[in-house]
A and B are shown apart, each in its own frame.
Chain A
């Protein structure tokens, strides 16, 4: 099962998880990222490290469409450039002071990041409509074990996951609802599973969320 939306893209969170004005830590293959959003617009994905003294930027706060580091208040605008150093209020920070930024996009209600400057793929028209958040679960097993489990027909959802050609996996339920599953490698022995759905009402989405938790229990015990 290939990883990610298309080569080079990895899921990091549900869109609904990254509320406007918030900042969150995410780990991909043991590398720390800060995922944040201004008052509107797309989620940003940056290295989780301020270039000043290495403080994790995910602890920072969002102000005026930028991310502010919690340690010394250095402010970084979208694109990663430092725009203010409070210890020297009159100083225009040198252009060389910036955070390391990565590509990001939203697909079927899930935020994806590109760590190695992958080209933005052409997304089909269905990518944003009607996909609602179900859950993210973190599982203490390698990502490949989750993939194998979802590919078997006796999994907790009662439907075999099939690759949909864009790197996510889709499960089609008997009543017509569809689930998108995106797998994130957190570390060698830990993965995140992000689920959104289309054509499922609120009750069914709650049920699917409980199934995801049951899946975690099954995977971690066996």
Chain B
């Protein structure tokens, strides 16, 4: 596709690499919102980003870059939506897990909705995040918080056999408490209560790089309270969960999200996705959605 002209999509910080992905002295060519770019790591470790122009891919104007949550972001816009505040990443004693990135061929909004959804735990993540005999999604609350302009789902509860690596080693299931938060059109996170610690939540985030409307790269980073597992175990667990979701994500039709009222049929369990679609539509974004016939 050619570069999008959608101003809402353009004015976002878009991930283009994870922290440490590009070695000093090396570059990485990729694409954001249809625009080819080159991300460069200087010998001293400084990161820069330039557009690549024309058929020959000539190095063009520099783009603003920033680094946060173990991810390098660039923007094509002049006034991007600020990156969210996630205080768990600054808390001492937390383990920061950089789970790298996974390519997924679908619209970024299908990825966000899958992350918000609990009803699929028993079927896509059987015996890990959900059991076949405990499929009910209990009612929860959902709102748009106007100060940050974010969608939040709270009071989410789901019975899980092995909700995280540390719960699995304890050998029994739990009624896991979740909160979900959509921080921007292309990013979503959840807070999962730590097994045995009602006052503490693990923070698990997905930041999405849309290369085109239907080809994305998903970056996962986490700020966890887990003293028992190795980093490899933590990352393996999250990546295997995500790869189970990818089978679904790449086989939803259409890939683009529709705002038409009768295109898809939600239920009460889909409260957060209903709020997300309404919030997206209100933002005016068209990138990644089914375009209405004129």
Contact = CB atoms under 8 A, between A and B. Distances in A.
Interface of A: 32, 48-49, 51-56, 59, 70-73, 85-89, 91, 97
Given A70-B123, A71-B248, 7 more contacts: A49-B253, A52-B264, A54-B264, A55-B248, A56-B251, A87-B137, A88-B137
Interface stretch (B44-52, B56-64, B189-197, B265-273): B265-273
Contacts of A91: 267
A74 to B, nearest CB: 9
Contacts, number: 64
B84 interface: no
Among A32, A48, A52, the most chain B Cβ lie within 10 Å of the Cβ of A52
Given A70-B124, A71-B124, A88-B137, A55 B119 contact: no
A87 B135 contact: yes
B122 A73 contact: yes
A56 B247 CA distance: 11
A67 to B, nearest CB: 13
A52 B251 contact: no
Contacts of A54: 252-254, 264
Contacts of A87: 118-119, 135-137, 267-269
B113 interface: yes
B136 A53 contact: no
B135 to A, nearest CB: 4
A183 B207 CA distance: 46
B268 A88 contact: yes
8 contacts: A54-B253, A70-B124, A86-B119, A86-B136, A87-B136, A87-B269, A88-B267, A97-B265
B120 interface: yes
